[in-house]
Structure formats: structure tokens, C-alpha cells
Structure 1
């Protein structure tokens, strides 16, 4: 495995999972900053490499992890696929459906795995939700409400960089969007959207959207970069409601709880602790080895990018 970029999420979450997986050897870590590459390599192993192209040129790796800013992900994913590497890319992979479709087709043509790292989808608490829905425990799904908001970041954080594709939508809003696709999709329409601009930086610092599904179900999503921390979703059906209070960032030692409310009573389903980042790596390995299905690949990549594109367009129109 090679790494293109030394982002914070790579240091805190993904590289510990990659370096600790028995089926993976980290052989090269690339950065435009030689000192940063060296610091990462000291901790996680592999050779420090200056520049991303030099990583892709190496003959001793099969796959790459791409934790770059949103504006750079598509370009370096394309280059990695053209170099015949499997790719695990941070979200968002792209912000246009056309780009996502082109990358999916390139991966198919090259016979390479292409995964977008929506790590929360690999946590078993969401399988519990899917099982409850399949069993009809809340009846027909009528609506979804999903939120992901985080406190303000330092001024130099990439989320404040318009030139790097920063903003609340690409930073955190993509999580509730992906939740809507999982439970109401794949054919969703953006009925209305609002993005709050920061006049200093030019990026959006918060927003909301209303999505509609062909069967009449609706999704209300909210997101922000200057808020109290919140990451949850609720599914309301014709006969009950499911609540997931720590939906997107459960710590590896956290016992998750899925709540079911129905007929005036409340049930709790405890989900044992699991490192969702390690689960992503396992999915990626199995996807390369056997083509095993994963929620991190396939048509959802294109559907997700299309929703982001449509949300931006609706916000510009003021719908």
C-alpha cells in the first residue's frame, strides 16, 4: 500500500488501521512536504517519498490510499488508476457525477477496485437499522432527518480553503447525504437547499437541504462547521421511529445504541464496539481479493456526487 498525502485523518485514523492490518504492508508515504512524509513514515513504516507521482511510479505497491483535499481527490485517483493501482479515496471522491462516472468506468476498464471512504457505512450499527427496516418494525419509511455538525476549526484547516474544495458540504454535509442515499435512494431529488457563505473565505460554513424520493419519502439534512457537535439520524415510518444518536463518528471502544420507538414503547439494540476504520480496510482488502460487495463502491459513488452537484445548484438558485 502507498499513501498519497499526509492529512490529519490519515495520521489519526486510517494509517493506524492500514498499518495494523495483517494483510497490508505500508511501503511508501508521499507528501509534498518531505519532513511531513518522514514523520509519517517513522510512525507507520514505509519509505518517505516527496511528491505523489513518485509513489505511483513505484513497482512494489498494489494499491493507494488518497487522503487529499476534495479539489485534488479526483485527479490523483485518476492517476492512480491509470498506474494500475487499486484506490481507497477519502470522501468526497468528486463533486460532479460526470467525474465520478468517468472514474468508475476507468476502474472497471483497468480491473481495479475503487472505494470512497464513507467509513460510517462499515459500522455494524447501520446493519442493525437495515435489519429493523427489512423486518417492517417501523412500517413504511416516510422521512429521514440527519445532522452532522462540528465545532469551528483553526483558520488554516482545509475546510476553510475554497481553492482546495473546502466548506461544510464537502467536509461534513456529505455524511447525511450518503445516509439519505442508503435508506431512501438511489433516485433522490434536491427539492431545496441553503448554504451559509463565509465572506472572508468564500466557503460555506453550514447548510440544509430537503430531498425527495419517488415514493414520497423526504429527507431533511443539516450540516455545519461552526456548531456544537452533533451526528445523528432518525428514520420515521408509518408505525414507528428508529434513532441513531452517534451515527458517523463512534469511537472504536464505543458501544453503539440503536433506539426503536413503536406503539408508545422504546427498545434499545446494543452494538458491540467496533473500529469502523479497520472495517473499511477489511472491506477494501476483500474487494481487491474477491470483488466482495461493499457500500463504499459501485453506483453509490456516482449517485453521491450527483447529489452534491445538485445541492450546490439548488443553493445557487435559492430554491
Structure 2
């Protein structure tokens, strides 16, 4: 079914999360093709603080926002374990949905949400902002053009230092943990370049029993024709956000792959036997690109590459990594080379 269209989508926000304040709400306000009309919170004062800063009307309670006829679409930055309930309610209320990742904790739940959106002709996007950054389209074209020959292996790494103990990523009751919050970036990178037929050859998760979440991990994946992917992720490391594609005649690396600031000019490094090139691309706001993709999907039915089958495939792969992982408790792990 084609998407229900709106001339200029009017957006409501379910929740006052830090990511909304830091990046997504400024991107919504900067886009002339959408209009922010309301921000909801269970805490009235918090909603008022957000609307005083970003505009729109404060709303007490998520249900009340979904009842509004002047809201065509919603942005959902709620904790992960609340996504399924409120995405489902939003779709049943006839609203298009842009949701922070992960869309759902399991592939079964993700598939049900995708199916519901398709049945109702509504847009459902998972906000994987890096997919909307043009540097990855450039890399895909280089690979397709045979610049590095036949692809042999992929490595992808995303990690950052420990956050405050109160950070939501350390809370199992709302869906915290490194795999679903950080590991999904390398996972999606592997799917982007190697396709959906990936097998989990091995995986491990570093589990903090005291907090009840995984703090990091790794996965080795195998694809068709012997192509492999080595993925590393975590939230107890020095910062790293990169991936590399190694082919039969060269190598391409992206050094700031997942969280480039809007002022950053990406540099793509291409290494071949006889030369090394660095391609510098224009700076780009990937959060702004997500908002543009969402608006275009609603107003013109333009396929954004973020929804449907790819979302479910990713969730299935995450499920398989979790199910096959060797879990190492915090106290059993060494911290330094002696």
C-alpha cells in the first residue's frame, strides 16, 4: 500500500530524550518541509521546558499527543523497551513514525510493526542516521566500480568511553546494553555491504552482572563466497567509529563513519598497490538528512532505504548474535597486558 501523504508533515514528539534535544529537534526545526507542533512528556514541566526551547505545544501524556488531529507524524526517542508499545499505538492512530533505534527488541516484534505500517500505508523509519550520510553512498559506488576488486572482508568498529552511571544504556529495565545500542551500527554496516545472507560464525558479549547489561562485544560473520565481517563494539573503550573494506586489489576505509558532526568533512581513504588516495567530501548533517528522508517519504512516497525488509533483517541478525554469543562476566576479564 502506498504511504498516506501530507503536504507538509506536522510532527509531534513522544518523549524528551537527550538525543532529541541535542540533535533531532534542531534538525526538525531547521527543515522547512516539516513543522514541529507538539512535544509530549509524562512530566508537564519537562514538556514545557522543551517547547520553550524548540517550539510547539507542551502535552502531558503520550496518548493525548496521539489523539491530536494536527499531528501527521511522530518522532519516538523513548527508551528501547517502550518502542514497540508506542510505535504500535502511533501507527494505529494513523501517524507516520520516525523512531530511534532499535525499532524493537526482537526481530519478531520488528516484523509485526513493519507489517502494521505497510497495512495502514504509513511510513515507519528507524533513525539510523548514518545510512543517510552521503559518504557511504560514495563508498558503495567505489566498491561497485571495482576500485578495490572483489570484496574479501569487512571490519567495523564502534565504541566510546564509559558514560555516567545514571546513563540509560546501563539500565536493563529500559533495554540498555551495548549490542542493541552500539553494536547495531557495525551490524548494519555488514548488511549494507555484504547483503542479508550472513551467518554468525562466532560472538561474545562482555556482561556486567551488577548492572545486568552487556558493555561490549564482538562478532565474526560469514557471507557468500567466503566473504567475512569482523565487528567490534562497546561502551568502555576509547572512542572509535570506523569501518574498512578489504578487496582483492585494494582497501577502502572510513574513519568517522557513524557519528560525524555536521561540520565534519569526511575523508575516504583508498589504498591500492601503487598509490593511496584520500577523497574529501563536503560536510553534511546526517540528522538533517534523516528528517529530509522522512519528510520525502511522507510527501512524495520517496523510498529512503531505511525501512521494511532491511530493518527486519537487521533485527534477525542481532537476535542470532545474541543467541550465539559466549557471555563473559565482568570479573573474568583481564584489563591489561602484563
Q: TM-score, normalised by structure 2?
A: 0.92
**In structure 1, which of residues 3, 15, 35 is the aligned counterpart of residue 25 of structure 2?**
15
Counterpart-to-counterpart distance in 2, 1:157 and 1:307: 26
2: CA distance between counterparts of 1:226 and 1:215? 34
Partner of 2:303 in structure 1? 293
Q: Counterpart in 2 of 1:181?
A: 191
Partner of 1:104: 114
Would you say 1:89 and 2:99 are equivalent positions? yes
What corresponds to 1:226 in structure 2?
A: 236
Counterparts of 1:262 and 1:111, CA distance in 2: 47
Return the offset for 1:23.
Answer: 1.4
Distance 2:41 2:320 in 1: 33
* Structure 2 counterpart of 1:214: 224
Structure 1 gap ranges (5+) = none
1:197 aligned residue: 207
Q: Corresponding residue for 1:38?
A: 48
d(CA) in 1 for partners of 2:305, 2:272: 28
Contact 1:95 1:306 in 2 (8 A): no
Quick one: distance in 2 between partners of 1:187 and 1:81? 30
Please state how far the C-alpha of 1:214 moved relative to its aligned partner.
2.2
Structure 2 match to 1:282: 292
Residue number in structure 2 paired with 1:131: 141
Task: Report the 3-state secondary structure (helix = DSSP H, G, I; strand = E; otherwise coil) of the residue aligned with 1:143.
Answer: strand
Equivalent-residue separation in structure 1 for 2:147 and 2:46 (angstroms): 50
- The structural deviation recorded for 1:24 is 1.2
2:88 is matched with 78
What TM-score results when the alignment is normalised by the length of structure 1?
0.97
Q: Are 1:59 and 2:99 counterparts?
A: no
Could you list the per-position Cα deviations for residues 267-288 of structure 1 after superposition, in whole angstroms to 9, with x for gaps in the alignment?
Answer: 1111100100000010011111
Residue 141 of structure 1, CA deviation: 0.8
Aligned position for 2:319: 309
Secondary structure of the structure 2 residue equivalent to 1:215: helix
- The list of structure 1 runs, each at least 4 consecutive aligned residues, that deviate by more than 6 angstroms after superposition, is none
Name whichever of 49-58 and 245-254 sits farther off: 49-58
2:176 corresponds to: 166
Deviation track 1:139-184 (CA, whole Å, cap 9, x = no partner) reads 1111110000011111111100001110111121111111011001
* Other-structure match for 1:272: 282
RMSD, matched Cα: 1.1
Shift of 1:131: 0.9
Aligned partner of residue 36 in structure 2, secondary structure: coil
3-state SS of paired residue (1:182): helix
Displacement, 1:317?
7.8
* 8 Å Cα contact 2:205-2:327 kept in structure 1: no
Residue 53 of structure 1: how far off its partner (Å): 1.1
SS of structure 2 residue aligned to 1:272: coil
Task: Give the unaligned 5+ runs of structure 2.
Answer: 1-10, 329-338
Give yes or no for the alignment of 1:48 onto 2:58.
yes
Q: Which residue of 2 aligns with 1:255?
A: 265
The alpha-carbon distance between structure 1 residues 317 and 198, as it changes in their structure 2 partners (threshold 3 A), is closer
Deviation at 1:316, TM superposition (A): 5.3
SS in 2 for 1:26: strand
Q: Does 1:2 align with 2:12?
A: yes
- CA distance in structure 2 between the partners assigned to 1:128 and 1:25 by the alignment: 31
